[in-house]
Amino acid sequence: MPRKKIVDNEKLIKAVDAKVPAKEIMAKFSIKTTAQLKALYLDALVEKGNIKGITGKASKDGLGQGGNQIKVNKRGSLIVPSDIIETMGFQVGDQFSVRKTKSGVSIKRI
């Protein structure tokens, strides 16, 4: 993916507000496509605070990007991601009891 083009956001917003044709704006800022122009304009508006940016997918329980998945490695150990450990307040050396339930597996701190 090519590097993002850097333009003066204030000048770009003023040019669009002044209803300068897209072709002229693209020539002035060395922009090749209208899609690139629209993306730069949107980024400029978000940076200035005129509009809200698009947020990513909301995470469950505030656990971050990885979600709340725990994996079993090839040795049979459960691997708990660090963001889950920090969020739930676990410490190194904590022990847990594991039991099978109708819905899956229950892990409870001892």
Mean pLDDT by 10 residues, the chain (110 residues): 79 92 92 92 89 69 63 89 85 89 89
Residues near 20 by beta carbon (within 8 Å), at least 6 away in sequence? none
pTM: 0.48
Please identify which residue in the block is written with the tokens 């949107």: 42
Domain of 94: which CATH number?
A: 2.10.260
pLDDT at 88: 86
In a domain, 29, yes or no: yes
Question: Residue 55 falls within a domain, yes or no?
Answer: no
- Residue 1 is predicted with a pLDDT of 58
> Who contacts 39 (Cβ-Cβ below 8 Å, separation ≥6)?
none
Indicate whether 90 and 68 sit together in one domain: yes
The domain in which residue 15 lies consists of 9-48
Helix (H) or strand (E) holding 88: helix 82-88
pLDDT of res. 83:
85
Count of structural domains, the chain: 2
Strands (E) across the chain are located at 71-72, 78-79, 96-101, 104-109
